[in-house]
Amino acid sequence: MVVLVTGSSGQLGQSLQFIAPNYPQIDFVFCDSKTLDITSLENCETIFSNYKPDFCINAAAYTAVDKAENEPEKAFATNVTGAKNLAEVSKKFDTILLHISTDFVFDGNKKTPYLEQDLPNPTGVYGQTKLDGEKAIQQVLEKHFIIRTSWVYSQFGNNFMKTMLRLASEKDTISVVNDQIGSPTNAVDLAEIVIKLVTEHSKLSRSFGTEHFYGIYNFSNEGQCSWYDFAKKIFEINNISINLLPIPTSSFPTPAKRPSFSVLDKTKIKKVFGIEINNWDNSIEIHKDN
């Protein structure tokens, strides 16, 4: 089985490389943006022709939420054109596409966890381009999985956890917003779920039928917290003593509006794949030394 991974230098890409040795039955092909520029249909066709992957995990994305407000063309190129290109070549080579999306497709006005069928309503360029990328895939390719996730962090790449640890080494006091609620997701847990989907695809497609099997799934770690709670846990497990102050979003304005509530309901993915999901505060301890 050949599994092509785009965006191999990002958080999920590096997490997939981290767990890849546990799956010797899979021939992984890891491509960063230099090897595979998903905004180029020609480049996509060349790579797919060379490797003929059974699955493509699209971990490539433009994720600079605030910069996207001033760089909509760059966000669109990767998140929409890139997603469409991968869908088109996946259809041509009969490849199953696993695409990673985001909680930012929602406006955050709901008070209960978001379901896959809830109506998206992005409030910024990043969320809109991710939603448009989902739609582009759905229009082109039947054999797709879209996994919406939230608040991804890990020991790899750039993320909230690494930012907090860096700031703690530079400052005595840190202020973090406490009125945005979501679910932190460890990228290694996300990687494991993606690979489980790959390895169990044949069995599950026979059980559920493809028309009910492909589509959108939510995945994050269980539980919910504020960014302040998340930061507090990060410092706690790293034995860092710092003056951590909770502040409202209004005291920390950003170019792009963040969803005030973006907890995702995981009932569907747990039912279909028969999985148990780590709670966010347990997961951060489990993966502390990765």
Q: Which residues are catalytic?
A: 126
Q: For residues 80, 215, 20 and 204, what is the CA-based torsion angle, rounded to 10 degrees?
A: -160
Residue 153 bridge partners (DSSP):
186
DSSP track, 13-40 = HHHHHHHGGG-TTSEEEE--TTT--TT-
- Cβ atoms 106, 114 nearer than 8 A: yes
Helix (H, G, I), strand (E, B) or coil at 145: strand
Residue 265: exposed, middle, or buried by beta-carbon count in 10 A (0-12, 13-18, 19+)? middle
Beta carbons within 10 angstroms of residue 246's beta carbon: 16
In angstroms, rounded to a whole number, what is the distance separating the alpha carbons of residues 140 and 63? 23
Residues 6 or more apart whose CB falls under 8 angstroms from that of 243 comprise 172, 173, 174
Alpha carbon separation from 103 to 45, 55, 106 (Å, rounded) = 30, 24, 6
The amino acid at 28: F
Beta carbons within 10 angstroms of residue 170's beta carbon: 7
Instruction: For residue 67, report the phi and psi dihedrals to the nearest 5 degrees.
Output: -65, -30
